[in-house]
Structure 1
Amino acid sequence: MDKEKMIPANEFCVYHNIELSFIYLLKESGLIDIISIEEQIFVPAEQLKHLELLIRLKQEMDINIEGIETITYLLQRITKMQQQILELNNKLAFYEN
């Protein structure tokens, strides 16, 4: 993966005032992916929005890692169900015309 599309985890942690151990906890829980290159840890840029959401859950709402896992799972289910509803509405509109 291109280094330009990755954010150094240390810099990210300093910017967001979090411990690097939180990043490792999220990785162990399967909530994010991290990449190690030359003994430095990176976060893929496409995961930043999701990672920032997880940090807000931790910092602003004081939710533990298990709660974050549950919330993430439920949000994914909601998104999937919304996509299914949209597909069904499109099919219904096709047959109504």
Structure 2
Amino acid sequence: MTKGHLIPVLEFCTRHEIEFSFINSLHEFGLIEITTIRQTAFLNSEELPRLEQIILFNKELEINLEGVEVIMRLLERVHQIQNEMNILKNKLGLYEN
């Protein structure tokens, strides 16, 4: 995990009106990383967009954590494929010119 701004998990939970146990469950599923410093749990600010997307799927769309895990893994794979396609398009563009 790259070093970014760390946000206390309890502060995040308060602002988003979610339970700490939910964040802990996400960590146990491997969906997010939690950094513990002096017995305080922190989230890396770079993970916030992903975490907010997970919260949307779970709370707003009522998708359970198992389903959220599958969706997030599929989205990651789609992004990888898109990046690979862009690289291949750029290489093809070099040969066409």
TM above 0.5, yes or no, is yes
> Partners in 1 of 2:38 and 2:84 — Cα distance?
42
Unaligned runs of 5+ in 2: none
| In the alignment, structure 1 residue 76 sits paired with structure 2 residue 83 | no
CA–CA distance in 1 between the matches of 2:46 and 2:76? 16
Instruction: For 1:13-92, list aligned pairs within 5 A.
Output: 13-92=13-92
**Which aligned segments of 4 or more residues in structure 1 are displaced greater than 2 angstroms?**
none
Write 1 or 2 for the structure with the bigger share of helix: 1
Separation in structure 1 between the aligned mates of residue 5 and residue 83 of structure 2, nearest angstrom: 28
Aligned residues: 96
Look up the match of 1:11.
Answer: 11
| Aligned alpha-carbon RMSD (Å) | 1.7
TM-score between the two structures when normalised by the length of structure 2: 0.93
Give CA deviations for 1:59-81 in whole Å, capped at 9, x if unaligned: 11011000010000100010000
CA distance in structure 2 between the aligned counterparts of 1:39 and 1:89, rounded to whole angstroms: 48
Q: Output the TM-score relative to the length of structure 1.
A: 0.93
